[in-house]
Structures are given as structure tokens and as C-alpha cells.
A and B are shown apart, each in its own frame.
Chain A
Amino acid sequence: MDLVRHLECFVAVAEESHFGRAAARLGMAQPPLSQRIQRLERELGVRLFERTSRRVTITEAGRLLLADAREVLSRSESFLATARRVRDGETGLLRAALPPDLSGGTVAALLADFGRRRSGLELELHELSTAQQLARLAAHELDVGIVHHPCDVAGLELGPVLRRELGVLLSRGAGAARLDEVPLAALSGHDLILFPRSAAPALYDDLLTTCARGGFTPAAVRHGQGDSFVRGLVLSAGAVALCPRDARPPSSGDPDVVWRPLTGGAPALRHSAAWPAGRGDAAVHAFAEAATQALRTAAGATPDAPTRPLHLRPASEYWL
């Protein structure tokens, strides 16, 4: 008996609760599907479904086996992904990408950890923005990447989402610079410096929304990215910029610009590993785990557990 194929049939019938629809989903006719389920039940000595003329329902025994069946199928997909890499002559090569904003220390920690986990594997590493990574993951030109959220995650599997809290860069003479921790609302009256919106519209809007939610609605948003340009705007225009702790300038290094942690629902950068659904093999998981570990230790990232209440509005059309 081809166990994997039979388990696919089991999971499909369990999810569709209907032999006809399960058969359509599997691209097969209904009689052989029924035969496979009967054969699986005989082999296992377990009745998986109750059938009446009108409907099919999973038994308690079937329910107990369903999670394990899904696990076997997902492991077999991962096994096949590895086999595909071997067959395609790419043995020992993993194509991975990192975003440009990780610090050198974080990248070094990731690479050292990955080398320990998969010493025989060659790593082809690219520096790519989230948009570039998503395009290449979809085209299967990239095996795994580290993406920024929010992004469209359709067709992807993700590692755990981690957050790097953002602090604020401001001129030493600004009133809020006297505080050890700056509440977002205390930035009122300052302009905000952000990257150009077209680079990542969803992230840009997310940062502005989070600032507004915390009581800081800047009168103007100025666009800039380079360190020295941002520094110039902070000093000359009384604007403030967002900056993660691990990328802040050294406290003794600049007499005129200071970095302070933000409080009051501060915005954060959120990252996770991402790979195409069903193509996560051992090498992909090793990279994802090494990246998660490096972000936690070298970049001070923390798990991103949603903590705020959620009020769904009637136009949401769903209710849990």
C-alpha cells in the first residue's frame, strides 16, 4: 500500500466531508477514492468515516489520526523537496536572502550558526528587499529569505515572527531628549523622517498608524534614508527619526543627536523567515532557525505576540 497516497485521500475526505468533492480536489474519480479509504481502514483496522447515503462524517478514531496524517504528509513534502534539490544537481546549495537593514553583527552570527548546523552545505546569499524576495520565492529562484512584515504571505510558510522595537533619534536640544524613555505623544510638534513610501507602502502606513494610535500625528513626513542625511534633518529641521536599538549610533559618538527608547505602544520592525509552502526541507529549516536565533541574540528581537484587543467591525463579515 502507498501510505502517503492513501493518507492524502484520508485527509481530503476528512476536510471536504464529501467523497465527490474530495475526489475532485485530488483529481481522481470517486470509486477509486472510496476503494482507497476502505483499503486504508482495512490495513489500519480502524473505521475512519461513518457513511450514510447523504453524507460522510469522520469518526472519533479518524479525528485522533488526522493530525498525525497531516504531519506525515508535511514531512513527506519536506523529504521530496530535499530529493528535488539533490536530483536537480543542486546538492548542498541553499539560495537564501537577507534584508539590507540587518547589522553586520547579526549577519555574522547567522552565518556562523548556520555553518555549525549544516557544515557541508554551500550557501548562496543575496541582499534583497522584501519585495524582491517575495518575487523570487514565488518564482522558486530563492529557497528561503528573511522578510519584513507586513507583506503578502499568500503561498508562503513562515518561521516565528520577531519584533525589533523602534526607538527615536532626536536632537539633544529637543525637549523630549531630556527623558530616559520617550512616550510617543511627547513627540507631538516634530516632523517625522521616514523612508520613501513607495519602497514599502504597507510598512510605511503601519508605522504612521502606530504613531497616530500612540498620540503622535506628525504635521509633515520628510523622506530620507541615509544616515548622514537623516542626521542632517534631525539637527536642522527639528525632525525625529525611528531607529531600532541595535542600529542606534553609539551614545558617546555624536554630541548632537541622541537615541531614546519609545513607550506608549511604540512601533516595531517585524521579521520572519519565509519559504514557499511545501518546499521547506532540512536546509531551509536550519537557515530559518539560525536566522531566528541571530535576530534574538544579536539584534535583541523578541517574539511578536499580538497583545492588543481586536474589535472587528460589522463590515468585516466574519466573527469568531
Chain B
Amino acid sequence: MNDAVARIHAAFADAGVTGRLHALGIDSGVQLDAGADQPVPTASVHKLCVLVALHEQDAAGRLDLTEQVECPPAGRTTGPTGVAAMLDAARLSLRDLAYLMMAVSDNAAADLLLRRVGLDAVNATTARLGLTRTLAVHSFGDMLATIKEDAGPDGARALADPHVITRLRALDPARTNRSTPRDLTRLLAAVWRDEACPPEHGAAMRRIMGLQVWPHRLASGFPFDDVHVAGKTGTLPTLRNEVGVVEYPDGGRYAVAVFTRTAHTAATLPAADAVIGTAARIAVDALRAEELRSR
């Protein structure tokens, strides 16, 4: 295991990032810890917590996943995908908004769901599942507003300046939505073991998480047709995250949470995206070898 941790840190360094990782065998309990308890800004990874809270509320009869939501164009949270990028009014069910929130990280869908569910309910869900170091303090729109405010009049272009990066509240885990790698593998394990919600809700959440479109991070580390990868990314200037579950045909299931900060401020850094998959693969291979030894 120590060798795997060293190789993970070497892979992070080679890609020009600082990374933290926790990996967990969902059924065996074997673990790999490479900075698993460091507080990290979650960014869009927190949409996973919104997803679980939403399904928990449906299970408790407090809402109905097929309930229709009006999505007027005015006041939409901005973003490059999904409803956030659309121009006209739309009407979608809560569960289809959840699909867009997870499949393409739709910020508008996420905030519409958050408005229905409530920030306090999201925190109550994570607290109930024992995620003591996980907290949502603002909506996705409010988080983006802090970046806009901290970046100043030059807008997105100013985010290439390291000096500006150091003052972004959205990158300070004390002042934005936060968690730890270990908390998030615990959440994923609860979803995959049907401990977070009843089985039919668990299956609905796993279906949605398997529909994420991005191939460049966690999934890139597992280029195997018979291996299933489900996950949720999170991205902000210099920050790249993904948490997810990797399932092998022999029944092995592994929750992996990877959080990185790039040295470079550039927005396009393919190597930094790919190393999330590389590191996850080293971790999962180590967990599988450990399971084989103890069998």
C-alpha cells in the first residue's frame, strides 16, 4: 500500500498537481489513504450531496421526484451546460433536473433542486450519514458570485493571475462548500450499499451517476469495456476533482475520491485531468491486490 501511495504522489507531481485521494473497497473495507482527511473545496462534487438529499426526501414522502419544476430563463444560475446554457423557458421533473445536474454538472438545475430541497436538508443528510467534515455553506450560484467578486473587473481572464487565485474564497475550504476525500468515499459506499436511501432510490441515483458524460478524469484511468465507472466531477480555477465508483465484473466495487490543485492557472490542462484517472487506477489496483492477498 505504501508503494502505491508513493506512486500516486509521484503521478500527481509528474502532472503538475498537488493531490489528495481516498479509495475504499465497498464490500471488503480495504482502504488507501493519500491525504484522505485534508479539508478540500468540493465545488460541483457537492451536487452528489444534493442528489442524495433529494432522493432521501422523496423516500420520506416530502416531495415527489416526478414533480414538475418551471425553469424560467430569468435568474438562472450561469454555466456552460444543460439548463444553465439554454435560452428559453423549460419545464422538467425533479428527477430529470437531477440527471442534468449529475450528467453535465448543470449549475442551473442544481440550484433549482437546492431551492426545492434546501441547503439545511443537504447538510442534515450528510450529517446523518456521518460525514462530520462535510458542509454546504452556499448555493452554486452564490459560490460562482464569490469568484466573480474576487476576480474583479477583468473577469475570467484575471483567473490566470496566481495573485488573484490566492484570494478566491471559493478555493478556501474554510469559506466554501467543503468535505474530505474520506467523507466522500463514505457517502458513495452508502449510496452503493443502499444505506443512504431505500434500494429503488439507490438504483435511481446509481443510474444517474453512471450517465455522467465526461471521459477525461476518473473514467480515463479505466479504459476497459467491462469496467463500469460512475462519478461526479468538480472544477474551479486550479481545482479539479472527481469522486466515483469503479465496478469490476468479478463483483469488486471501489469508491474513489480525488481532489487536486494544479500549479498552472491555465484552464485547459489535459494532463491534470488525466492524472485523476491514473491515480485512481493505481489505488484500485492496490485495493484489488490487497483483497486477493487476504482472501
A residues engaging B (CB < 8 A)? 15-18, 21, 24-25, 149-154, 156-161, 198, 201-203, 205-206, 209, 270, 272, 277, 304-306, 308-310, 312-320
Contact = CB atoms under 8 A, between A and B. Distances in A.
Contact of B162 (A15, A161, A310): A161
Nearest to A151: B263
B233 A317 contact: yes
Contacts of B105: 317
21 contacts: A25-B175, A150-B262, A150-B263, A150-B264, A154-B261, A158-B163, A159-B163, A201-B14, A202-B262, A206-B264, A306-B157, A306-B158, A310-B156, A312-B267, A314-B104, A315-B235, A316-B80, A317-B44, A317-B107, A319-B144, A320-B147
B144 A320 contact: yes
Contacts of A157: 166
A161 B161 contact: yes
Nearest to B79: A319
Nearest to A25: B174
B216 interface: yes
B201 interface: no
Contacts of A15: 169, 175
Nearest to A22: B137
Nearest to A130: B263
Nearest to B146: A15
A315 B262 contact: no
A203 B263 CA distance: 9
Contacts of A16: 137-138
Q: Is the interface of B mostly helix, strand, loop or mixed?
A: mixed
Interface string B1-44: 00000000000011111100000000000000000000000011
Contact of A315 (B142, B175, B216, B266): B216
B232 to A, nearest CB: 10
Contact count band on B? 35 or more
B90 to A, nearest CB: 18
Nearest to A305: B161
B158 A202 contact: no
B81 interface: yes
Interface in B228-242: 233-238
B216 A152 contact: no
Contacts, number: 133
B248 interface: no
A160 B166 CA distance: 12
A156 B161 contact: no
Contacts of B158: 306
A272 B135 contact: no
Interface in B107-152: 107, 135, 137-138, 142, 144, 147-148, 151
A307 to B, nearest CB: 8
Contacts of A152: 17-18, 238, 261-263
A232 B210 CA distance: 55
A24 B263 contact: no
Contacts of B135: 21, 24
A312 B264 contact: no
Given A158-B163, A201-B14, A272-B162, A317 B43 contact: yes
A149 B267 contact: no
B271 interface: yes
A312 B156 contact: yes
B78 interface: yes
A162 B295 CA distance: 57
Contacts of A24: 135
A202 B16 contact: yes
A317 B79 contact: yes
B159 to A, nearest CB: 8
Nearest to A315: B214
B234 A154 contact: no
B268 interface: yes
B67 interface: no
A217 to B, nearest CB: 16
Contact of A318 (B144, B162, B261): B144
B235 A318 contact: yes
Contact of B147 (A21, A198, A310, A318): A318
Given A154-B261, A206-B264, A316 B166 contact: no
Contacts of A314: 80-81, 85, 104
B160 interface: yes
Shortest beta-carbon contacts, A-B, top 10: A202-B16, A202-B263, A150-B264, A306-B160, A317-B235, A150-B263, A314-B80, A320-B156, A152-B18, A319-B78
B166 A309 contact: no
B153 to A, nearest CB: 11
Given A15-B175, A16-B137, A201-B16, A319 B80 contact: yes
